[in-house]
C-alpha cells in the first residue's frame, strides 16, 4: 500500500467525527480528520443553548425506544458498544464531570459545551490523531467498489478507510450543508427525503404579536389532518415571533413536516392535559365560587398567563368583564372546552434550516450496524446525523452520534490493522 494511503480519513469534526477519530487513533491507526470550519464541533458548542445536553441517563435499551423503530433496531449495537456512561466517563477522565437533571438530561457540570469539545479534541490529539481545520472535503474517490481517497479543495488525499461524519443539512451556517448526503447518493446509497426535525412551527393565523416570550408549562400539542389526530406531544410550549417553539412543538415537527406534504395540518393545544373535562370544569367552578363575584377574566388569569386571556375568551365570545356569579353553565363549559382543546390554526410551514436535527439522509438499510460500513462501497464508514436518524430532544442525538462514531472508528481501525 502506498505510504499516503496508510491513514484513516475522517470527514467532519462534529460529535461523531471526533469520537471516531479518537477511537481509531487509540487503536493505533494513523488518523487525519478534516473539518471545514476554523473550529470543530460548532453544533456541540451551541447545543442545549450552549450548555450542551450531552446525553440522556438510563438504560441504553430505554434510550433506543426514544427513536423510531427502524432507528432503534439500527442503533442497538452501537448503543451497547458505547453507552451514555462511556461518554460521561471519558469526559470525567478529561476533567469535565457531568450531572443528571431530574428529567434525565445529562449536562457538563460547568454547563459549557466548549469544555465538552475541548475534552474530545484533546483526546484525539493525545492519541496522535491530526485535526486539520479549514479543510473542506469536496468528494470521495473510489475504485472497483472500494474507497480510494478524498478530494479536498486543491488536491486529493489517498486512503482506503474513510469515515463520513459530515452531519445533516440544517443549521447550514454551522458547516452542515449536506455534503456527505449528496456524496452518498453518488455511491448508489438510497437517500431518505430530508425533512426538518426539532424545528419551531409557523402557524396560520399568526400568533398575536403581544404573546412573544410567553411560556405554557406542560401543555399537550396535537396535530390532526383530515379530521384525525396524527401525533401529540406533551411538554412546555413557547410563543415566539415566528410561531410556536419549546419542547412540545419541536417534538411534533418531524411528523408535522411529513403530514404537511399531503395537505393541511391543524394544531391544537390542551392547556391542562393532566385534568379531564369534568375535573377542569370542577376546578373552574371552585375558582369562580372562591372569587366571590370576580370578573371571569381575572379568574382565568389565575390559570393562564394574563396576556393571552382576553384573546382566548374572545374566541368563545365570553366578555372577560362578566362577573363569575352571572356566568352561565354553557359559557363556563365553553371556557373549559377551549382550555382542553384550543384550535390554534394550521401549520403554515416548518423551516428546514431551523431543524436542530435533519430527519432523513443515508438509508440505514445500506449500512452494516455492527461496523457502520457501507454495503455499497468497501472502506466507507458512515456515522452520525448524515444517516437517516433523528431522535427527540434530551441528549439523544448527540448520543447517537457518539455511539455510531465509536463503532465506525473501531471498525475502520480494525480493518486498517488487518491491512498493514
Ligand X SMILES: Cc1cc2nc3c(=O)[nH]c(=O)nc-3n(C[C@H](O)[C@H](O)[C@H](O)COP(=O)(O)OP(=O)(O)OC[C@H]3O[C@@H](n4cnc5c(N)ncnc54)[C@H](O)[C@@H]3O)c2cc1C
* Residue 397 engages ligand X in binding (rule: CB under 6 A): yes
> Total residues at the site for ligand X (CB under 6 A)?
39
Closest CA to 394 of 200, 232, 198: 198
- The Cα 177–Cα 108 span in angstroms is 28
First to last CA, the chain: 8
- The Cα 321–Cα 124 span in angstroms is 66
* Residue 131 engages ligand X in binding (rule: CB under 6 A): no
Q: Sketch the per residue contact string, 169 through 188, with ligand X: x for CB under 6 A, - otherwise.
A: --x---xx--x---------
CB of 50 to ligand X, least distance (A): 9
Tell me which residue has its CB nearest to ligand X.
Answer: 14
- Only one of the segments 11-19, 95-103, 298-306, 337-345 lies at the binding site for ligand X (rule: CB under 6 A); that segment is 11-19
Pick the binder of ligand X from 8, 21, 32, 35 (CB under 6 A). Answer: 35
HSE-CB of 155 using CA atoms within 13 angstroms? 3
Which C-beta is closer to ligand X: that of 11 or that of 244? 11
CB of 367 to ligand X, least distance (A): 13
Which C-beta is closer to ligand X: that of 43 or that of 189? 43
- The Cα 164–Cα 408 span in angstroms is 9
Closest CA to 135 of 156, 117, 153, 148: 153
In 145-227, beta strands by DSSP E:
146-152, 155-158, 161-164, 191-197, 201-204, 215-225
* Residue 395 engages ligand X in binding (rule: CB under 6 A): yes
* Residue 167 engages ligand X in binding (rule: CB under 6 A): yes
Which C-beta is closer to ligand X: that of 50 or that of 293? 50
Pick the binder of ligand X from 9, 10, 11, 199 (CB under 6 A). Answer: 11
C-beta of residue 216 within 8 angstroms of C-beta of residue 203? no
- Looking at residue 268, what DSSP letter applies? E
Grid cell 363549559 is found at 333
* Residue 129 engages ligand X in binding (rule: CB under 6 A): no
* Residue 17 engages ligand X in binding (rule: CB under 6 A): yes
* Residue 116 engages ligand X in binding (rule: CB under 6 A): no
Pick the binder of ligand X from 7, 9, 13, 237 (CB under 6 A). Answer: 13
Which C-beta is closer to ligand X: that of 248 or that of 266? 248
The footprint of ligand X on residues 240-269 (CB under 6 A) is: none
Q: In terms of DSSP H, where are the helices of 235-317?
A: 247-260, 277-291, 296-301, 309-315
- The Cα 58–Cα 131 span in angstroms is 33
Which C-beta is closer to ligand X: that of 168 or that of 324? 168
Pick the binder of ligand X from 76, 112, 136, 204 (CB under 6 A). Answer: 136
- The Cα 370–Cα 7 span in angstroms is 22
C-beta of residue 310 within 8 angstroms of C-beta of residue 300? no
Which C-beta is closer to ligand X: that of 97 or that of 206? 97
User: Rounded to 5 degrees, what angle do the CA atoms 134, 166, 80 make?
Assistant: 130
- The Cα 161–Cα 378 span in angstroms is 8
Pick the binder of ligand X from 10, 23, 48, 75 (CB under 6 A). Answer: 48
CB of 396 to ligand X, least distance (A): 6
CB of 389 to ligand X, least distance (A): 9
Cell numbers linked to 300: 382565568
Instruction: Give the interface with ligand X as residue ranges (CB under 6 A).
Output: 11-17, 34-37, 40-44, 46-48, 52-53, 136-137, 165-167, 171, 175-176, 179, 356-357, 384-385, 395-398, 401
Amino acid at each position: 500500500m502506498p505510504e499516503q494511503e496508510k491513514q484513516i480519513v475522517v470527514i467532519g469534526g462534529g460529535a461523531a467525527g471526533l469520537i471516531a477519530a479518537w477511537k481509531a487513533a487509540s487503536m493505533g491507526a494513523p488518523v487525519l480528520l478534516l473539518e471545514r470550519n476554523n473550529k470543530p464541533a460548532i453544533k456541540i458548542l451551541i447545543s442545549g443553548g450552549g450548555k450542551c445536553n450531552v446525553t440522556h441517563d438510563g438504560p441504553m435499551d430505554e434510550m433506543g425506544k426514544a427513536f423510531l423503530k427502524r432507528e432503534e433496531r439500527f442503533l442497538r449495537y452501537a448503543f451497547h458498544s458505547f453507552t451514555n456512561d462511556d461518554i460521561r466517563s471519558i469526559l470525567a477522565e478529561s476533567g469535565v464531570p457531568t450531572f443528571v437533571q431530574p428529567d434525565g438530561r445529562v449536562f457538563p457540570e460547568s454547563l459549557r459545551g466548549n469544555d465538552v469539545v475541548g475534552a474530545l479534541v484533546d483526546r484525539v490529539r493525545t492519541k496522535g490523531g491530526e485535526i486539520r481545520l479549514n479543510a473542506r472535503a469536496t468528494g470521495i474517490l473510489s475504485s472497483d467498489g472500494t474507497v480510494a481517497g478524498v478530494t479536498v479543495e486543491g488536491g486529493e488525499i489517498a486512503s482506503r478507510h474513510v469515515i463520513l461524519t459530515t452531519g445533516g443539512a440544517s443549521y447550514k451556517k454551522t458547516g452542515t450543508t449536506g455534503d456527505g448526503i449528496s456524496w452518498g447518493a453518488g455511491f448508489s446509497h438510497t437517500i431518505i427525503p430530508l425533512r426538518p426535525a426539532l424545528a419551531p412551527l409557523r402557524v396560520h393565523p399568526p400568533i398575536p404579536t403581544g404573546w412573544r416570550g410567553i411560556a405554557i408549562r406542560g401543555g399537550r400539542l396535537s396535530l390532526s389532518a383530515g379530521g384525525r389526530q396524527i401525533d401529540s406531544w406533551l411538554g412546555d410550549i413557547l410563543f415566539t415571533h415566528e410561531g410556536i417553539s419549546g419542547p412540545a412543538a419541536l417534538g411534533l415537527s418531524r411528523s408535522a413536516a411529513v403530514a404537511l406534504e399531503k395537505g393541511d395540518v391543524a394544531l391544537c393545544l390542551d392547556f391542562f392535559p393532566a385534568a379531564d373535562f369534568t375535573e377542569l370544569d370542577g376546578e373552574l367552578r371552585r375558582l369562580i365560587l372562591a372569587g366571590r363575584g370576580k370578573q371571569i377574566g381575572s379568574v382565568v388569569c389565575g390559570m393562564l398567563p394574563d396576556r393571552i386571556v382576553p384573546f382566548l375568551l374572545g374566541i368563545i365570545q365570553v366578555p372577560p368583564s362578566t362577573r363569575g356569579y352571572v356566568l352561565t353553565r354553557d359559557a363556563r363549559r365553553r371556557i373549559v372546552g377551549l382550555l382542553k382543546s384550543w384550535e390554534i390554526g394550521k401549520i403554515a410551514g416548518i423551516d428546514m434550516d431551523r431543524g436542530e436535527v435533519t430527519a432523513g439522509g443515508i438509508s440505514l438499510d445500506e449500512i452494516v450496524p455492527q461496523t457502520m460500513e457501507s454495503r455499497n462501497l468497501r472502506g466507507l464508514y458512515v456515522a452520525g446525523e448524515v444517516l437517516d436518524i433523528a431522535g427527540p430532544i434530551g441528549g439523544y442525538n448527540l448520543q447517537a452520534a457518539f455511539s455510531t462514531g465509536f463503532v465506525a472508528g473501531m471498525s475502520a481501525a480494525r480493518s486498517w490493522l488487518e491491512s498493514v
